[in-house]
Amino acid sequence: MDVISNLGLGFSVALTIQNITYCLIGALLGTLIGVLPGIGPVTTVAMLLPISFTLPPESAMILLAGIYYGAQYGGSTTAILVNIPGEASSVVTTIDGHAMARQGRAGPALGIAALGSFFAGCAATLLIALAAPPLATIALQFGPAEYFSLMVCGLIAAVVLARGSLLKAIAMVVLGLLLGLVGTDVNSGARRFNFGMTGLADGIEFVAISMAIYGIAEVVYNLEQKQAAKMVTGALGRVWPSFADVKQCAGSILRGTGLGAILGVLPGGGALLASFAAYTVEKKVASAPRQFGSGDIRGVAAPESANNAGAQTSFIPMLTLGIPGNPTMAMMIGALMIHGIAPGPRVMTDRPGLFWGLIASMWLGNLMLVVLNLPLVGIWVRLLRVPYRLLYPVIIVFCCIGAYTINNKAFDVFVMSFFAIFGYVALKLECEPAPLILGFVLGPMMEENLRRALLISRGDPMVFLQEPISLAFLVLAAGLLVVMAVPAIRIRREEALKE
């Protein structure tokens, strides 16, 4: 009954005119940036962080969440019609989705993608509602030692699941942790690592570094990537799939939803890992696996269900533990911090309207997306004709205005410019920026819990090994590193991520 009463509170928050409007705006924006290749949800959320500062916390989180899961819907449209995934998690959809479009079955492909996404989103949101309270209750029992070890384990898991070199991913995490320490020491009041710049007395502004790396550097990098669009011409035909199509895809949607819901909780995995895993599982269980790659509708249903379920359940560690599982969740935590709300399990008890209102809005957002997406397919496809080079000046101006308006400091614009150059160089060197952002967000929280644990234990570092939960997290983190050091596993990881 507690879940029902809590959801009642959530719907009372989400169903206000203001929050319904922001949910709709977030869903539409998410679909838009999902359709446009090269502009992902991280970039959009980073650019909208300054605007979210002017909104109530509930409205801000509903808007940003709608952008994130809305992008998973939009990415399938271009993947099917143009053979260009609007989102990284829609890469697998291009294999069978575009093949179906070339065969004149673009309508059913889009229809099953929307239905699978809707079912997965609703099921994963129900899982959040059921799993979040007990997880938050457990997390409230955590002490500083347990929190520190949990964050260490989360960062290691994010490194293991990051694309590219393991060594580069570790280096980016360490750099992110160091950048998070810049500013004034809370305990002593001493300024550290600011190179005598008064603008860094309060640390590096999260909005500035996030917009630099995801709003400017990644967009500049994407300008270099020339992709030939293979637009499918002609009418889409009947959009809704037939009963035979739905019956054939029912098992795929269920398996994709279950797999995505599980993998979405993993740090660094989320929707991308879920979609690849779901497609692989479908090929394993199919009676005729050779059909995959030539227009099998199950090859669209499974990954689209998985990436939407993974996108939804990635909110679980963020909402219950205050641990971001991916860069978008790091942005969401940044939004909470901008509003003066400490992320973690106490959000559920201290701000129940925010917590349950966000969960309730996910159902509304998924319903809006499935109702709006299919009728507006023609509009989304026309947006692909807008040259990407024309969007870039708008993005860079928006980022500069946003970086300035947070604190009304021109210094933050210079900080953003520096990290934009750094982010571009990092991308050229194939250093993924996600581990850096995760390290930057978790760094101050890790330091706080580390120092608090050592103060309680009077400087005894064995406190991290004496607490059973803390020890379990550290053993798991060490095990992940040892396993990844095995040459055979490392090679298999690099091959899988490359594929």
Half-sphere exposure of residue 472: CA atoms within 13 angstroms, side-chain side: 6
Q: Helix or strand or coil: residue 343?
A: coil
Query: Tokens 């040892």 belong to which residue?
Result: 482
Q: Which phi-psi region, left, alpha or beta, contains residue 458 (left: φ > 0; alpha: ψ -120 to 50)? A: left
Residue 300 tokens read as 């669209």
CA atoms of 218 and 211, how far apart (whole Å)? 10
Q: What is the pLDDT of residue 17?
A: 92
Give residue 173's pLDDT. Answer: 86
CB 107 within 8 A of CB 239: yes
Q: In terms of Cα–Cα distance, which of 338, 374, 363 is closest to 77?
A: 374
| pLDDT, position 487 | 57
Max Cα–Cα distance, the chain, nearest Å: 73
State the alpha helices, DSSP H only, in 264-338: 270-285, 298-313, 315-321, 327-338
DSSP string for residues in 390-440: HHHHHHHHHHHHHHHHHHT-HHHHHHHHHHHHHHHHHHHTT--SHHHHHHH
Cα distances from 6 to residues 21, 65, 124, 187, in angstroms, run: 22, 19, 17, 38
Kindly list the distances between the CA atom of residue 390 and the CA atoms of 223, 386, 417, in Å, as whole numbers in the listed order: 11, 7, 20
- DSSP per position, 176-203: HHHHHT-EE-TTT--EESSTT-GGGTT-
Q: What is the pLDDT of residue 18?
A: 92
- The CA distance from 50 to 41, in Å, is 15
Q: pLDDT of the chain along its 499 residues, tens only?
A: 477 888 888 888 888 999 999 999 988 888 887 777 666 777 778 778 788 778 898 898 999 888 888 887 777 777 777 766 666 667 778 777 778 877 777 778 888 888 888 888 888 888 888 888 888 777 777 888 888 888 888 788 777 766 667 788 888 888 988 888 888 776 777 788 777 777 777 788 887 888 788 778 877 776 776 554 455 545 555 667 777 877 888 888 888 888 888 877 776 556 667 777 788 788 777 776 667 767 778 888 888 888 888 888 888 888 887 777 777 888 888 888 888 887 777 888 888 888 899 888 988 888 888 877 777 766 766 666 666 667 777 778 777 877 777 777 888 888 888 988 898 888 888 887 878 888 888 888 888 888 888 888 888 888 888 888 888 888 888 887 777 666 555 555 555 555 5
Which tokens belong to 419? 């990290």
How much of the chain is in helix, strand and coil states, percent to nearest 5?
A: 75, 0, 25
Amino acid at 91: V
Separation between Cα atoms, residue 305 and residue 177, nearest integer Å: 34
Q: Which of 262, 176, 162 is nearest to 480 (CA)?
A: 162
Distance between CA atoms of 208 and 462, rounded to whole angstroms? 38
User: What is the C-alpha to C-alpha distance for residues 172 and 191, in angstroms, rounded to an integer?
Assistant: 24
Cβ neighbour number for residue 307 with a 10 Å cutoff: 38
> Would you state the pLDDT for residue 20?
92
